[in-house]
Structure 1
Amino acid sequence: MSTTFEQLLVEQSYVHKLQEMGIASPTPIQEEAIPLLGQGKDAIIQSQTGTGKTLAYLLPALQQIDPQQKQLQVLLLVPTRELGMQILQQIELLTQGGSIRSQSLIGGAAIARQVEKLKLHPHIVVGTPGRILELLKLRKLTLHHVKLAVVDEVDQVFELGSMNEVEAVLKGTLRSSQTVFVSATIPPTIEASAQRWMKEPVIVKINPSQRTAETLEHCYFVCEERNKIDTLRKLVRLINPPSAIVFVNATADIAEVVAKLQYIGLSVEALYGEAGKQERAKVMTQFRERKFQLLLATDIAARGLDIEGVTHVFHLDPAVNAEYYLHRVGRTGRMGRKGTAISIVTPKELFILGKFEKQLGIEIAPKAMYEGRIVDPAQDRSAAAKRSRTQAARPAGGAAPARGPAGGARGNAAPAAGTARTGDAAARGERGGVREAAPAKPAVRVSAAARKAERERDRKSKGAPRWLKAKQQGKEE
């Protein structure tokens, strides 16, 4: 019997909101994390992408808030604007019609407007470490009443150089505050550093040996570097995914890649860290609304995104390491849905996929395109060999033997016709009173005009039926 949200002591108002969102029962990570966080324990939560980690900490966080107080009580730190806005949307869905107030404090936005909105006294804030620290230094924000601080995608937050900023922010909270780190990948170094901010943290890991979702299919196609974009074009035309993400490594190349993909007719827009706030927001809104088919993104921009309906992830550049590969493929196959991750690699890049297979415990299968289908390369080779055998069995000239009226092959009738013609020649020789072997024909020098006429005849008869070719050959003879 499956566990219910009521059994996890989730308030009934939130259970109704979850049902409206189409969520009927908790995932394994939610079953483990919600009761622990509800008890106020510090925790490190690690689970595959797309398993519901956000709700695992949001539900107990919202239940800790006292709406009657005007102080900030829950702080959520995130690495990117996109992830922050995504979490804020979930908060607004869960608190709609209630008295809990929320706000985003993301870098890149107008700080004066954020300061003005802080006068409404939000209970829960979602922000990037740099902007939160900036507001703390300006004394526009205080963390003295924060009950819970969560660092989502903690490994990326630290990797982006925000470890010192996170440390400074956490120092601003009370010693009694609860601290939670969340990510699909938490290296040992982060677990070690977490001890500085946490009190006897509970480490929650769901099936750590299964690093990616079981519903994901991993495969790759091999081509030369210059053919990668054309291979992507063929795959998109063949598969026609309703919504897919294409990953590249270098931000400097992204505008050029977008231009090339749009030039060959693909419906694509780009999402990358250096783009303006308004531009990134517009691209994400249009992608969620299916205004275009492909989202070209860098790893940083797409980290942690949960976009409904993404069926495929394409790696135009291989991920820089196994952890990045894991987060990339986590954009599809979420919450038990099926998804496909396709790598487009050169022969020299194949070893990278081998490393990912060993480190993540997955199989990345080779694939090929053949006659409008995606097949295994072995199947493609056997089909090619079969075609070669068929062509080799045909007589010279490319024409297969045809059946004659009597059921025999016309190839068998040809010698008989040749014999009859030889007999006629002999009779003509007898009538002339001469019976001798025909002298060998001297070599004839073929003129350029004759060669041209012969090529023209061959061109005209190229698509002719076999019986007509045989008839024309008989006339010439």
Structure 2
Amino acid sequence: MNFINELDPIWQEKWKNAGFEQAMPIQEQMIPEMLAGNDIVAESPTGSGKTLAYVLPILQRINPEKKSVQAMIVAPSQELSMQIVNVLREWTEGTDVTVTQLIGGANMQRQLEKLKKKPAIVVGTPGRLSELVKTKKLKMHEIRMLVLDEGDQLMAREHRNLMKDLIEKTQHDRQLVLVSATITEEVELVADRLMNHPTRLRVTAEDLPMQGKVTHSFIKVDERDKTDLLRRISHIEGMKGLAFVNNLDQLLMKENKLKFRDAKIVTLHSEMNKDQRKKALDSFRNGEVSILIATEVAARGLDIDAVTHVIHVDVPQSVEQYMHRSGRTGRAGADGEVLTLLAYADERHYKKFTKELPSKPVQKILHGGQLVAGNSKTVSEKGKK
């Protein structure tokens, strides 16, 4: 953890006060590289300490006396950018470093007022940042450090052109850092085209300390019965499940059906406003509801503690997506379960990519308000005895 000694006393003090026993592997690798000013492509699982791995070097390298935007952090969702801002505010409390959030769905006028004060760091979503650059309210050539968080999402088709445009407007000698839980081909293209000899860093789930034991399981279910099964799962004692569906239409349909039943479930999606999203997340975090259903994009970067289950309502499209979603449970030494609601049509696809798992997935059923191993046949046989 030598990098801590390279930081200014104020950041060393903050690290000590935060009570960290040890640095996470991605922090050990990335902080020295960032302090050296190198371009970086870093792959590390969700929840492995990536945010602090770029926040600390940014704070170290910023000059609070200089009145210009020196660092920009881009995130694909409002939630993730809000979480990044919260981390920055925690660390900059009592210092002269200023931070402003620039996200869609928030008051533009208020953001412009804050920008006029020349904050040292801005955190934002691609659409809003692009709008502010186009109207010349935000000057990309002043930026010395540009971080793309969840870079694979930012480089997916939806944001790709906006992002390339933003990056190309920066000076050639700025530092470009891209972090993600999965590195895709699009990310590699950006690295080749827009970075200066990037350092490539990779941390896997096995490298992380205190990984809990994660069970992979599935329940066979007709597609049309998935919503009702989710409702029943939401009543399992101690359940705190993050459930994923593959597209927004499916999510909205399920949301409508569940509203009329006593489901302990909330949804999170891109058509909700800021207050609705906050209300949904709060009710899940404080245990009022036991399942949060989201699309991949809506759930990106959400920092939720003690998730007992990741539920794939729809089988993911790729093994990377399966692993990425599944990484939300079994953290900080706690055990977890990854449960797939498996329709007949998806069986072959599911079997193909679960072959790569360390242990074979277990078939389960919901019996007596609990998830138990077995199939409906074994349970009816037990009933006969």
TM-score, with length taken from structure 1: 0.73
User: Aligned partner of 1:51: which letter?
Assistant: S
> Residue 361 and residue 168 in structure 1: after superposition, are their counterparts in 2 closer, same or farther (change >3 A)?
farther
> Residue 335 and residue 67 in structure 1: after superposition, are their counterparts in 2 closer, same or farther (change >3 A)?
farther
Which residue does the alignment assign to 1:17? 14
Which residue does the alignment assign to 2:23? 26
1:51/1:334 contact within 8 Å kept: no
Which of 174, 190, 208 lines up with 2:187 in the alignment?
Answer: 190
Q: Do residues 100 (structure 1) and 97 (structure 2) align?
A: yes
> Residue 371 and residue 266 in structure 1: after superposition, are their counterparts in 2 closer, same or farther (change >3 A)?
closer
Which residue does the alignment assign to 1:177? 174
Per the TM alignment, residue 273 of structure 1 is displaced from its structure 2 partner at its CA by: 0.8
Per the TM alignment, residue 59 of structure 1 is displaced from its structure 2 partner at its CA by: 1.0
What is the percent sequence identity of the aligned residues? 35
SS at match of 2:55: helix
Alignment of 1:268-283 (within 5 A): 268-283=265-280
Which residue does the alignment assign to 1:232? 230
> Residue 207 and residue 330 in structure 1: after superposition, are their counterparts in 2 closer, same or farther (change >3 A)?
closer
TM-score, with length taken from structure 2: 0.90
User: Aligned partner of 1:232: which letter?
Assistant: L
Per the TM alignment, residue 161 of structure 1 is displaced from its structure 2 partner at its CA by: 2.3
Higher strand share: 2
Which residue does the alignment assign to 1:216? 214
Aligned length: 383
Superposed CA offset, 1:143-198 (max 9, x none) = 22322111111111111422221111112221111111110110234213311111
> Residue 387 and residue 161 in structure 1: after superposition, are their counterparts in 2 closer, same or farther (change >3 A)?
closer
Which residue does the alignment assign to 1:146? 143
Which of 243, 257, 263 lines up with 1:260 in the alignment?
Answer: 257
1:50/1:333 contact within 8 Å kept: no
Superposed CA offset, 1:181-230 (max 9, x none) = 1101102342133111111111001238889x664322111122232223
Superposed CA offset, 1:396-450 (max 9, x none) = xxxxxxxxxxxxxxxxxxxxxxxxxxxxxxxxxxxxxxxxxxxxxxxxxxxxxxx
1:209/1:361 contact within 8 Å kept: no
Return 5+ residue gaps in structure 2 as ranges: none
Which residue does the alignment assign to 1:168? 165
User: Aligned partner of 2:20: which letter?
Assistant: I
Which of 342, 349, 361 lines up with 1:364 in the alignment?
Answer: 361
Per the TM alignment, residue 313 of structure 1 is displaced from its structure 2 partner at its CA by: 1.8
Distance 2:162 2:81 in 1: 17
The more displaced of 352-361 and 112-121 is: 352-361
User: Aligned partner of 1:222: which letter?
Assistant: K
Q: Do residues 204 (structure 1) and 168 (structure 2) align?
A: no
Superposed CA offset, 1:1-37 (max 9, x none) = xx47635x34443344345545331111111111111
Distance 1:24 1:5 in 2: 14
Alignment of 1:51-450 (within 5 A): 51-207=48-204, 215-241=213-239, 243-358=240-355, 363-377=360-374, 384-385=380-381, 388=384, 390=385
> Residue 98 and residue 291 in structure 1: after superposition, are their counterparts in 2 closer, same or farther (change >3 A)?
farther
1:52/1:335 contact within 8 Å kept: no
Distance 2:243 2:156 in 1: 22
1:220/1:343 contact within 8 Å kept: yes
* Bigger RCO (CA 8 Å, 6+ sep): 2
Distance 1:278 1:291 in 2: 17
User: Aligned partner of 2:175: which letter?
Assistant: Q
Return 5+ residue gaps in structure 1 as ranges: 391-477
Superposed CA offset, 1:212-271 (max 9, x none) = x66432211112223222322333323432x32222223223343224334332222221
> Residue 138 and residue 372 in structure 1: after superposition, are their counterparts in 2 closer, same or farther (change >3 A)?
closer
Distance 1:81 1:383 in 2: 45
Which residue does the alignment assign to 1:409? none
Per the TM alignment, residue 118 of structure 1 is displaced from its structure 2 partner at its CA by: 0.5
Distance 2:21 2:75 in 1: 27
Superposed CA offset, 1:61-83 (max 9, x none) = 11111111111111111111111
SS at match of 1:350: helix
Q: Which structure: larger Rg?
A: 1
> Residue 373 and residue 158 in structure 1: after superposition, are their counterparts in 2 closer, same or farther (change >3 A)?
same
SS at match of 2:4: coil
Per the TM alignment, residue 100 of structure 1 is displaced from its structure 2 partner at its CA by: 0.6
SS at match of 2:142: coil
Which residue does the alignment assign to 1:408? none
> Residue 77 and residue 361 in structure 1: after superposition, are their counterparts in 2 closer, same or farther (change >3 A)?
farther
> Residue 281 and residue 112 in structure 1: after superposition, are their counterparts in 2 closer, same or farther (change >3 A)?
same
1:18/1:24 contact within 8 Å kept: no
Per the TM alignment, residue 116 of structure 1 is displaced from its structure 2 partner at its CA by: 1.3
SS at match of 2:30: helix
